[in-house]
Amino acid sequence: MTTRQQNNNGRVTMAVLATKLDAIAETVHDIKAGQEKQDTRIGDLEKADVKLNERLSTWRAVQTVVSAALAAIAGYVGTRN
């Protein structure tokens, strides 16, 4: 094999490697884009969870106030008889 043939083989090998590296880089880019979308979705879900917890806390406070009022009324009615 002459030096010229070896150089041509090296060029072909480098071209094949460059193509494969481009494919890998594109795959990594796609994975990164997907990860960013997932991070956004997770952030949105966390915000929704905080809002839900706030609503539940409010509902529980209302239940406590209503229960206390009903207990007071029941106590008043019970002592009248």
What's residue 1's pLDDT? 52
Q: What percent of the chain has pLDDT over 90?
A: 75
What's residue 14's pLDDT? 87
Intervals of the chain under pLDDT 70: 1-10, 81
Predicted TM-score (pTM) of the model is: 0.54
For 32, half-sphere exposure in the C-beta direction (CA atoms, 13 angstrom radius) is: 6
Alpha-carbon torsion (38, 51, 64, 69), positive or negative: negative
